[in-house]
Amino acid sequence: MSPFTKNAYTLRVGNIPAFDELGVSKTGMTFNSHIPTWKFNREFITKVILAPNFAKEIVNLIPIIFDELKEHWKDIGEDVPIDFSIWIHKFMTEIVFQAFVGLRVNGLKPYFNSIVESSKKKDTETNPIDKEIEVFPDIIKEGLDNIGFFLTIPSLVRHTILRKKNIAALKNRKQTFDILTKVIDTRRKEIKQTSIDEKLRQDMLTLLITMNTERELIDQKHVDEEHSKPLNNNQIHQIILEAISGGIETSASSLCTMVYHLAHYPDVLTRLRQELDTIFGFEKDRQITVEDLSKMHYTEAVFNECTRLVNPSKTLPRESTTKDIIAGYEWSASTSFEIYTEGIHKNPAFWKDPYKFNPDRFMESEPLRNTHLAFGGGARGCPGRKIAILEMKYLIFLIYRNFDITLVDMDAPMNLEYKFISMCSELKVKVRPRFPQA
């Protein structure tokens, strides 16, 4: 089956009353079934993500946050097992919050303090904007869980037996928006108070707020009338929320999959490190650029192979907007399809020895169209792909340049749990600095 046909599959899901109730069916992107607003929002987020300065901001940001992580890992000590999945989740949260809303959650140090003995604990500082931001990642994670709840549990059950959980889910949604309103309003005020010739930082929120204003930070060559007005809070809310939730869990889980496989395949790790040495050399203070990262072809092949074998999205839903013929059958408009990526990723018709871990398959030739769907595809494909790959590559460089990572249990399978997407729930490792003095 050819899953993506021009314009017939712009809907992920059709009109789901439960999503109207949750307030996600006509806003943002992921579950927006109102095509004009989805298209409008998507064009805005795409503009931000493709803006060269946005990628540069992320590349400048990653080593700063990594230095903090590096210190914590060194202070824990090399013989102490740590849960990589929690650390990397906290780390991605810092990156995503800083890059998307310009705020630090400051979650690394409290987590360090929670797992070390009292003599090792460090002083914590409070968030400059609001204590609420510290709990915001958990609120967002709960919101992601609630999507699954609304998608799978019938209305009658939600409003009777599971009434309490239903109320809690709606409360979670309100709480999310209250915090976001505060964040957006605070930033609007800061921008207003910054003189016009002073440079603004280029996080996603600032780029969205300033779009189509005199502080415009993105060079928009062709702006039609529809896209020429500044965005209001309602429009910004859901775009930011989806960028945050889309950017944390998937990236953190994919990194766990890479660390797991690199521990099991030392030859692959050796080759990956050779690539890093060739591109980056050993100059200590060398500034890493977006161009450097674009040369990491083998690392990208390892990422592709890891997400082929362990894909966070096992299925991709679509609803047809016109009638179509698929697999020899005619299907009417508004038919729901589930594209079974798990099956496509392991289908021997597309992949030689599909269960074998072999990153070289991505070096030797391009996979057939629509057979590697880690980021989905077509009109609804992931808009964050470019940024996600950039982050993955930079992090892999920093982690494997600075540390040797061993799995605590080499015989254990990957620990995955399904919460709307498939996520790594635990990965016990030991981390040893490669250059203890650095």
Q: Which residues bind ligand HEM (CB under 6 A)?
A: 12, 29-30, 42, 49, 242-243, 246-247, 250-251, 254, 312-313, 316, 374-377, 380-384, 387-388
Nearer to ligand HEM, 27 or 251 (CB): 251
Cβ 76 to ligand HEM, closest distance in Å?
26
Q: Using DSSP bridges, classify how beta strands 82-83 and 428-433 pair: parallel, antiparallel or unpaired.
A: antiparallel
Furthest-apart CA atoms within the chain: distance in Å = 69
Nearer to ligand HEM, 35 or 412 (CB): 35
Cβ 323 to ligand HEM, closest distance in Å?
21
110 token code pair: 């409290």
Cβ 360 to ligand HEM, closest distance in Å?
21
Nearer to ligand HEM, 374 or 405 (CB): 374
**Spatial distance between the Cα atoms of 391 and 287, rounded to a whole number of angstroms:** 16
Residue 31 · residue 147 · CB < 8 Å: yes
- CB burial readout 398-434, b (16+ within 10 A) else e: bbbebbebebeeeeeebeeeeebbbbbbebebbbeee
Q: Which of 143, 140, 115, 110 is nearest to 127 (CA)?
A: 110
Cβ 260 to ligand HEM, closest distance in Å?
15
**Spatial distance between the Cα atoms of 422 and 368, rounded to a whole number of angstroms:** 24
**Spatial distance between the Cα atoms of 257 and 252, rounded to a whole number of angstroms:** 9
Cβ 357 to ligand HEM, closest distance in Å?
18
DSSP string across 243-292: HHHHHHHHHHHHHHHHHHHHHH-HHHHHHHHHHHHHHH-S-TTPPP-HHH
Half-sphere exposure of 43 (CA within 13 A, CB side): 14
- CB burial readout 322-341, b (16+ within 10 A) else e: eebeeeeeeeeeeeebebeb
Q: Is 31 helix (H, G, I), strand (E, B) or coil?
A: coil
Nearer to ligand HEM, 172 or 422 (CB): 422
Residue nearest ligand HEM, CB atom distance: 376
Nearer to ligand HEM, 76 or 258 (CB): 258
In the chain, the amino acid numbered 318 is R
**Spatial distance between the Cα atoms of 321 and 233, rounded to a whole number of angstroms:** 30
Nearer to ligand HEM, 39 or 165 (CB): 39
Cβ 394 to ligand HEM, closest distance in Å?
13
Cβ 313 to ligand HEM, closest distance in Å?
4
Nearer to ligand HEM, 28 or 158 (CB): 28
Q: Which of 20, 49, 14 is nearest to 242 (CA)?
A: 49
Q: Which of 118, 125, 94 is nearest to 108 (CA)?
A: 94
To which H or E segment does residue 331 belong? strand 329-331
Nearer to ligand HEM, 102 or 246 (CB): 246
Nearer to ligand HEM, 112 or 303 (CB): 303
Cβ 226 to ligand HEM, closest distance in Å?
17
Is 306 annotated among the ligand-binding residues? Answer: no
- Residue 354 gets which letter from DSSP? T
Cβ 10 to ligand HEM, closest distance in Å?
9
Which residue positions form the known binding site? 382
Where is the binding site for heme, in residues?
382
